[in-house]
Amino acid sequence: MQLPPASPVAGLLRRRLSFPEVLAQSVSALAPSAAMVTVPALVLVASGAATLPAIAAATVLVLLVGWCLSLFALRMAAVGGVYSYTAKGLGPAGALLGGWSLAVGYAAVAMSALVGAALYVVALFGLPPGSVAVLVLLLGGLAGWCTVRGIQLSARLALALEVVSIALVLAVLVALLVAADGGPGSAAPVVDGEAGWSGIAVGVVLGVTAFMGFESAGTLGVEAQRPLVAVPRAVRWTPVVAGALFLFAAWAQVVLLRQAPLDLLMSPVPVAELAGPVGALGKLLDVGIATSFFACVTGSTNALARVLFSMGREGVLPPALGRTHRRFGTPHVALAAVLPVLVAVPVLLLLAGTGARAVLAGTLTVSAFGYVLAYVLVSLAAPLFLRRIGELTAAPLVGGIAAAVLWLLVLVVALAGGPLAGGRALSVVYLVLLVVGLLWIGWLRLRRPARLAAVGVYDQATESSVLPGSLPVGPHR
Amino acid sequence: MSPDGGLSGRQPKAVQSALAVLEAVATAGAGVTAREVAESLELPPATAYRLLNLLVGEEYLVRLPDLRGFALGRKVAGLAGAIAPVRVPSAARTVLAGLRGRVRAGVHLVLYTATSLRVVDEDPDMPLASASLVERHLHATAAGRLLLAEQPEWRELLPPSRLTRLTPSTVATADRLDACLDEVRARGWSQQAGELHPGTACLAVAVRSATGELVAGVVVTSARGAVPVEQLEPARECAAELAPLLS
């Protein structure tokens, strides 16, 4: 066997990010503080008294898929993350389906977070509602600059923003808990309501949406200092930390909302309604959520660009997407290709008269479908991958199949039941996008089958990574 | 050493097994699979896979592109290079003595492995202030910079946290070292003035094998503070003469 002189994904800045910076990628794409204030109240309405078990079950589901991902991340340093992992288990067609779905997920969540950041900046400074579209443009440009300028800059920025925003949201929740002393309000029957199995299932589906993006550290295989150590650790620990934060936030909201009137529980962000009248708490919360959303924009854009970068290097998308910036070592062509789309879609929706909240929630729903299908496929790919390389043991076989089945159930409940914001209309939007992806895969299979063979590039061993003399090498440069 | 767990030394069994796995890959040769390693050591497969993944994570082992086979990693060269006995052919020593007779500066020979360097022939009349400092602080010496400039990514060899500022003029930031190594690659030789010890400067010229591999370096030092560029040509001629003798 002869090793190549250079990695097929060379050009990205190599081995720069420390473990906290790799973790920041996963945490920022997950946007914990925004999820902490929005998701528990939604689960509460669906699952009532079973809210905490539903969120705990969602955490377990995410831990399961995180563990499946770590089986890949221990063995290969990828740039396409879940997409590249899937390729090693399911082959090109399965990988492209998962990769397309994941790209839809990253793109839609970036749009959602852009609108979210704009919305909270508007609320913070009391700007006119019409300025949301302008702010989306500005924040999109700022995110573009951060992501092109270098992965280290955007990772450090995300780390700082996340620390600030999680601290702010925790502080606000604690302050509200300390101040709370009222008796049961009109929302109490809903908060303490008995939930049937369907209510719990819907609660779990809503709960898992809070975690999406945790897998995106998988796109830093080249840029992390010790990728085969840092990336598996990040995908295993992010759900643990996020799950703990969500459980605390959910418990706090159960206590707080039990004392609240019913119409407050049904408002878009009940915690904001609670904090609003209490001095500066409302403003602090706005700052926390806006920063978390902005970090989510950069995190999701970074991940999306790296998936497309991998596809460009493989040749299944135009090779130009596989170019990297000479000085910053970022996939700047892929970034430049996606950023206009990420900004244009929400701006057009807003200009067409859609409410900002509806855009925020709708794009989030579409992204959730995208992630869930990618998780189903990668869980299924894990045992197949290990069997192919002769390292299958009982635990990954059982874990992988269980994860795939459970996540498939999540997908079915989400698509068919319409529990997510926007209902079944958005299921149709996602399915249409999926059909576009299937047509693309079909075209590649029929017309460009040779390109499919290249799917699955990763930062593989080169002649400089093995002990000199242990393998025959080609002529030296 | 991992940043979180630290080294506790309380898992002697695990360390023994890990070393046995490393040994098994070394004996079996490149391309050995995880299952073969587990069978040859009679380890439970899950344990063997975990140890292999740990060693791959630390880069002592490398997974080959088929993801099934393993080979020894580049990092192993660092272990072996530090303890292997070094023999410099007497013909090479004669060539060095010739250069010492012609120039009024210290002339030293260093040998390179893929990841380290060793001072193997020091000028008896003008010895280095400390050979071990030259071997350790790769960023601050001309010989070390030749090695770093050879790496696809020097950070894999020398984490930026180890860019010690030895004197006020040491290149001690990653950005400045990047620029410095770009210069070395463009020029083909390296230099430093007062970065290891105040007042001492040196230059280094590469000795390359027929295939272009960096095998040794001729180092010329001067205690007068300025890089001894007037000795560059003699040092290059010496390196050209040494190439067939050392590779």
Tokens found for residue B198: 């105040």
Q: How confident is the model at residue B82 (pLDDT cuts 50, 70, 90)?
A: low
Within an 8 Å CB–CB cutoff, is residue A460 touching chain B?
yes
Within an 8 Å CB–CB cutoff, is residue A470 touching chain B?
yes
Read off the pLDDT of residues A11-34 as tens digits, 9 standing for 90 and up. 999 888 999 999 999 999 999 999
Q: For residue A101, what pLDDT is reported?
A: 97
Cβ <8 Å between A75 and B64: no
Q: Does A98 score more than 70 pLDDT?
A: yes
Nearest to B152 among A1, A464, A476 (CB): A464
Q: How confident is the model at residue A405 (pLDDT cuts 50, 70, 90)?
A: very high
Cβ <8 Å between A466 and B152: no
Angstroms from B221 CA to nearest CA on chain A: 30
Q: How confident is the model at residue B159 (pLDDT cuts 50, 70, 90)?
A: confident
Cβ <8 Å between B71 and A466: yes
Residues A215, A221, A226, A229: what is their CA dihedral angle, to the nearest 10 degrees?
40
Tokens found for residue B238: 């010496």
Sheet with B106-112, side-by-side order of all strands: B117-121, B106-112, B214-222, B201-208, B189-193
Q: How confident is the model at residue B81 (pLDDT cuts 50, 70, 90)?
A: low
For residue A313, CA distances in Å to A94, A178, A353, A374, B132 come to 18, 54, 39, 21, 44
The Cα B52–Cα B21 span in angstroms is: 7
Q: Phi, psi (5° rounding) for residue B71?
A: -140, 160
> Which of A76-90, A151-165, B114-128, B212-226 is predicted most confidently?
A76-90
Cβ neighbours of residue A110 closer than 8 Å, sequence gap 6 or more: A296, A297, A300, A301, A304, A342
Nearest to B67 among A15, A88, A471 (CB): A88
Read off the pLDDT of residues B24-45 as tens digits, 9 standing for 90 and up. 999 999 999 999 999 999 999 9
Cβ <8 Å between B46 and A477: no
Chain A residues touching B34 at Cβ < 8 A: 389-391
User: Which of B54, B63, B150, B151 to substitute to test the interface with A, most A CBs within 10 Å?
Assistant: B63
Within an 8 Å CB–CB cutoff, is residue B120 touching chain A?
no
Q: Does B114 score more than 90 pLDDT?
A: no
Q: How confident is the model at residue B83 (pLDDT cuts 50, 70, 90)?
A: low
Ramachandran category for residue B181: left, alpha or beta (phi over 0 → left; psi -120 to 50 → alpha): alpha
| Residue A332 CA from chain centroid, whole number | 21
> Which is the CATH superfamily of the domain at B83-246?
GAF domain (3.30.450.40)
Within an 8 Å CB–CB cutoff, is residue B16 touching chain A?
no
Mean pLDDT (chain A, rounded): 92
Chain B residues touching A395 at Cβ < 8 A: 46
Cβ <8 Å between A468 and B74: yes
Q: 3-state SS of A2-15? A: CCCCCCCCECECCC
Q: Does B6 score more than 60 pLDDT?
A: no
Cβ neighbours of residue B138 closer than 8 Å, sequence gap 6 or more: B117, B144, B145, B147, B148, B157, B158
Spatial CA neighbour of A111 closest among A87, A147, A137, A85: A137
Rounded mean pLDDT, A400-421 = 89
Q: For residue B85, what pLDDT is reported?
A: 64
Angstroms from A6 CA to nearest CA on chain B: 9
Spatial CA neighbour of B190 closest among B129, B138, B225: B138
The Cα A109–Cα A2 span in angstroms is: 42
- The type of residue at B160 is P
The Cα B85–Cα B82 span in angstroms is: 9
Q: Does A474 score more than 60 pLDDT?
A: no
Q: How confident is the model at residue B5 (pLDDT cuts 50, 70, 90)?
A: very low
Cβ pair A245, A169 in contact under 8 A: no
Q: Does A82 score more than 50 pLDDT?
A: yes
Cβ <8 Å between A75 and B63: yes
Within an 8 Å CB–CB cutoff, is residue A128 touching chain B?
no
Within an 8 Å CB–CB cutoff, is residue B212 touching chain A?
yes
What domains are defined for chain A?
A: 19-452 (1.20.1740.10)
Cβ <8 Å between A225 and B155: yes
Point out the least confidently predicted range of A75-79, A84-88, B87-91: B87-91
Q: Does A441 score more than 90 pLDDT?
A: yes
Q: For residue A477, what pLDDT is reported?
A: 36
Cβ <8 Å between B34 and A3: no
Spatial CA neighbour of B118 closest among B200, B22, B215, B229: B215
Cβ <8 Å between B46 and A395: yes
Q: Which residue of B has its CA nearest to A477?
A: B212
Angstroms from A226 CA to nearest CA on chain B: 7
Q: Is B201 helix (H, G, I), strand (E, B) or coil?
A: strand
All structural domains of chain B with their residue ranges: 12-73, 83-246
How many helices, marked H, and strands, marked E, lie in chain A?
Answer: 17, 0
Q: In chain A, what percentage of residues exceed pLDDT 70?
A: 98
Angstroms from A449 CA to nearest CA on chain B: 21
Cβ <8 Å between A466 and B68: no
DSSP per-residue string spanning A338-395: HHHHHHHHHHHHHHTT--HHHHHHHHHHHHHHHHHHHHHHHHHHHHHHHHHTT---HH
Within an 8 Å CB–CB cutoff, is residue A390 touching chain B?
yes
Please write down the long-range contacts of A18-22, taking CB distance under 8 Å and 24 or more positions apart: A18/A225, A18/A230, A19/A224, A19/A225, A19/A226, A19/A229, A19/A230, A19/A233, A19/A234, A19/B3, A20/A159, A21/A152, A21/A155, A21/A156, A21/A159, A21/A224, A22/A155, A22/A217, A22/A220, A22/A224, A22/A230, A22/A231, A22/A234
More confident residue, A337 or B103: A337
Tokens found for residue B72: 């020894």
The Cα B56–Cα B30 span in angstroms is: 14
The Cα A226–Cα B53 span in angstroms is: 13
Q: For residue B3, what pLDDT is reported?
A: 44
Q: Does B117 score more than 60 pLDDT?
A: yes
Angstroms from B92 CA to nearest CA on chain A: 24
Q: Phi, psi (5° rounding) for residue A167?
A: -60, -45
Task: State chain B's maximal CA–CA distance in angstroms.
Answer: 64
Q: For residue A4, what pLDDT is reported?
A: 86
Cβ <8 Å between B71 and A471: yes
Q: How confident is the model at residue B9 (pLDDT cuts 50, 70, 90)?
A: low
Q: For residue B7, what pLDDT is reported?
A: 53
Read off the pLDDT of residues A224-256 as tens digits, 9 standing for 90 and up. 989 999 999 999 999 999 999 999 999 999 999
The Cα A390–Cα A374 span in angstroms is: 24
CA angle B240, B242, B244 (to 5 degrees): 90
Tokens found for residue A399: 């874990």
Chain A residues touching B49 at Cβ < 8 A: 391, 393
Within an 8 Å CB–CB cutoff, is residue A389 touching chain B?
yes
Angstroms from A457 CA to nearest CA on chain B: 10
> What number does CATH give the domain B12-73?
1.10.10.10
The Cα B118–Cα A34 span in angstroms is: 55
The partner residues of B183 in beta bridges, in order of sequence, read none
Nearest to B71 among A393, A470, A475 (CB): A470
Nearest to A390 among B33, B64, B77 (CB): B33
- Please give the span between the terminal C-alpha atoms of chain B, in angstroms, as a whole number: 35
Cβ <8 Å between A465 and B73: yes
Cβ <8 Å between A1 and B53: no
Q: For residue A389, what pLDDT is reported?
A: 96
Cβ pair A322, A305 in contact under 8 A: no
Q: Is B9 helix (H, G, I), strand (E, B) or coil?
A: coil
Nearest to B156 among A15, A88, A477 (CB): A15
Within an 8 Å CB–CB cutoff, is residue A16 touching chain B?
yes
User: Which of A70, A391, A473 to substitute to test the interface with B, most B CBs within 10 Å?
Assistant: A391
The Cα B59–Cα A229 span in angstroms is: 10
Q: For residue B84, what pLDDT is reported?
A: 60
Q: Which residue of B has its CA nearest to A18?
A: B3
Q: Does B107 score more than 60 pLDDT?
A: yes
Specify the pTM. Answer: 0.89
Read off the pLDDT of residues A148-178 as tens digits, 9 standing for 90 and up. 999 999 899 999 999 999 999 999 999 999 9
The Cα B144–Cα B136 span in angstroms is: 8
Q: For residue B74, what pLDDT is reported?
A: 84
Mean pLDDT (chain B, rounded): 89
Cβ <8 Å between B64 and A3: yes
The Cα A339–Cα A121 span in angstroms is: 20
Within an 8 Å CB–CB cutoff, is residue A228 touching chain B?
yes
Rounded mean pLDDT, A66-85 = 97
Q: How confident is the model at residue A278 (pLDDT cuts 50, 70, 90)?
A: confident
Cβ <8 Å between A226 and B35: no
Cβ <8 Å between A390 and B68: yes
CB contacts < 8 A, A to B, total 102
Chain A residues touching B2 at Cβ < 8 A: 229
Chain A residues touching B74 at Cβ < 8 A: 464-468
Within an 8 Å CB–CB cutoff, is residue B194 touching chain A?
no
Count of CB atoms situated within 10 Å of the CB of B159: 13
Point out the least confidently predicted range of A254-268, A343-357, B25-39: A254-268
